[in-house]
Amino acid sequence: MLALDGGTPVVAEGAVAPWPQVTDEDRHAVLRAMDRATPWHWPMDEVRDLERAWSEWTGMPHVLAANSGTAALHMAVAAAGVEPGDEVIVPADTFLATASCVLQANAIPVFADTDRGTFAIDPDRVAERVTGRTRAVIAVDLNGLPADYAALRAVADRHGLALIEDAAQAHGARYRGEPVGGLADSSAASLNGSKCLSALGEGGLFATRDAEQFRLARRVSMFGEELAGQGRDYNARIMGWNYRIDVLAAAFARSQLARLARSTEVREANGAALTKALAEVPGIRPPIVPDDRTHVYFFYPLLVQPEELDLDLPVDVFRDAVEKAVAAEGLGIARWQPRPVPAQLLFQELRGYGKGCPWTCGHARPGHSYRDLDYPVAEDVCLRRLVLGQSFSSLGPPNTARTMELFAEALHKVLVEERDALVKLARDGMKG
Ligand SMILES: *Cc1c(COP(=O)(O)O)cnc(C)c1O
């Protein structure tokens, strides 16, 4: 019997460990930072250590830690030389920050549709969106799977565009052997508590191959000031912010980074085990991993497919019933990004900074609008997607293949053994 109808839940409370996994090494690292960090000075050793370690991991010569992934993305856009009114092509299906970082530079995000196999930005759709004003492309390694960088590189080079990687969801993954964070001209990673590399609280990492980009990124992250000679001259050159990372967050993230190789192995193995176990469960599509890259499953996304079950039910009704029934079985499940980013009010009504800026500020090409949504794949993915896990990253250690068996059991119960009860739940949902 479905747990929703009074049956026993498949996943008992406490059976799935939360992310991030915190060890004594992490605790000692944070305590050491507290003892070392007084009196206040900048940059602190823990911040430098984190930057050095991420530089080594990604192969990017210049790394700057930041206080969020959103800040690191804005640094990347500024470092790429994007100016007011310039256009930057971004994925239609991603977290808001991939697009709002462009607005932060007074520039214009232009959205491109999704590749149905990988859920990343579709390089062919990117090529169609290029205009004389386009300066950069931001690709996202969505869910934990790298985008198609060979094809994106070809489009970027053909049009002279900077290629930026939003690596917020995929630390540890690889594309053709190369690490996420090092797949484009520059990258921005998030260290938000939920992410595969976690600062427990908030943090971010900007990385670039280019010394001049590094200078521009640092300027925007340090009040618009240049570091001149020995120290600060307190003379802002441009508009800047304070994007510096907290030293305790940096110490925690540095300690986690020392275990990233191991936690990545666990994620890959857990994801592969879950996908294998779900092969027998119709009505949902597990993620696909192309041969030339690896997946670290920040999200484990499922697309619901009522059509496969010959059910005469609207997709959203079926999806909501699956979500409800699976959640009652004790398995965390959630809708993430219920709509493409350009469908948010910020874009639909060109709210921006208010008074229509930056679209109406006079620097942008006239006539930008996000009303005629033309992202059929992104819309379909957003309609069908449910992501698994108690916290976003339940595929990480210490969870094991045994935990994945529980996940698969819960889905098998809802979609196979108790399908009649599920369909009844969906039909009741339609009435009510
Ligand atoms: C989490 C995330 C961000 C933002 O990172 P924060 O550290 O939360 O600011 C940006 N892009 C994507 C794809 C993300 O998942």
User: Do 154 and 11 fall into the same domain?
Assistant: no
What's the pLDDT at 36?
82
In a domain, 142, yes or no: yes
**Whose CA is closest to atom 2 on ligand 1?**
168
19 alpha carbon, distance to own chain's centre = 16
| CA distance linking residue 349 with residue 313, whole number of Å | 33
- Ligand 1 center from residue 192 Cα (angstroms): 7
User: Do 16 and 68 fall into the same domain?
Assistant: no
Indicate whether residue 141 lines ligand 1 (CB < 6 A): no
What's the pLDDT at 153?
98
User: Do 126 and 268 fall into the same domain?
Assistant: no
How confident is the model over 12-38, as pLDDT tens digits? 999 999 999 999 999 999 999 988 866
| CA distance linking residue 208 with residue 46, whole number of Å | 20
Indicate whether residue 168 lines ligand 1 (CB < 6 A): yes
User: Do 290 and 325 fall into the same domain?
Assistant: yes
User: Do 192 and 226 fall into the same domain?
Assistant: yes
The one-letter amino acid at 143: N
User: Do 11 and 146 fall into the same domain?
Assistant: no
- Ligand 1 center from residue 229 Cα (angstroms): 34
3-class DSSP state of 386 = strand
What's the pLDDT at 192?
97
User: Do 317 and 171 fall into the same domain?
Assistant: no
The CATH number of the domain holding residue 411 is 3.90.1150.10
What is the position in ligand 1's atom list of the atom closest to the CA of 298? 15
CB 145 within 8 A of CB 287: yes
User: Do 146 and 267 fall into the same domain?
Assistant: no
Cα maximum dimension of the chain? 73
Indicate whether residue 190 lines ligand 1 (CB < 6 A): yes
| CA distance linking residue 1 with residue 7, whole number of Å | 5
The one-letter amino acid at 243: Y
Q: Given the structure tokens 């990117």, which residue do they identify?
A: 126
Residue 41 to residues 64, 71, 131, 212, Cα–Cα distance (Å):
17, 21, 46, 25
Say how many Å lie between the first and final Cα of the chain, rounded. Answer: 22
What's the pLDDT at 349?
96
Torsion of CA 325, 326, 329, 330, to 10 degrees: -130
CB 243 within 8 A of CB 66: yes
3-class DSSP state of 204 = strand
What's the pLDDT at 373?
77
Phi, then psi, of 88 in degrees rounded to 5: -130, 130
Smallest Cα–Cα separation from 77: which of 67, 68, 64, 86? Answer: 86
DSSP secondary-structure letter at 365?
Answer: P
Structure tokens at 299: 């999200």
DSSP secondary-structure letter at 104?
Answer: H
Domain edge (last residue) among 238, 259, 280? 259
In a domain, 350, yes or no: no
In a domain, 41, yes or no: yes
Pairing of strands 87-91, 134-140: parallel
Pocket test for ligand 1, best of 19, 68, 70, 298 (most atoms within 8 A of CB): 70
The CATH number of the domain holding residue 109 is 3.40.640.10
Q: Is the dihedral of CA 15, 18, 19, 23 positive or negative?
A: negative
Structure tokens at 32: 């050491």
In a domain, 355, yes or no: no
Indicate whether residue 221 lines ligand 1 (CB < 6 A): no
Strand partners, 163: 137
Indicate whether residue 94 lines ligand 1 (CB < 6 A): yes
User: Do 63 and 163 fall into the same domain?
Assistant: yes
- Ligand 1 center from residue 120 Cα (angstroms): 15
Domain edge (last residue) among 237, 259, 281? 259
Structure tokens at 188: 């921005």
Residues of the chain with pLDDT under 50: none
Indicate whether residue 67 lines ligand 1 (CB < 6 A): no
- Ligand 1 center from residue 56 Cα (angstroms): 22
CB 59 within 8 A of CB 212: no
> What H or E segment, with its residue span, contains residue 320?
helix 315-328
User: Do 50 and 13 fall into the same domain?
Assistant: no
User: Do 150 and 266 fall into the same domain?
Assistant: no
**Whose CA is closest to atom 14 on ligand 1?**
168
In a domain, 358, yes or no: no
In a domain, 343, yes or no: no
Domain edge (last residue) among 259, 290, 311? 259
What's the pLDDT at 8?
97
User: Do 274 and 246 fall into the same domain?
Assistant: no
Domain count, the chain: 2
Range of the domain at 274: 3-20+260-337+380-431
In a domain, 43, yes or no: yes
In a domain, 349, yes or no: no
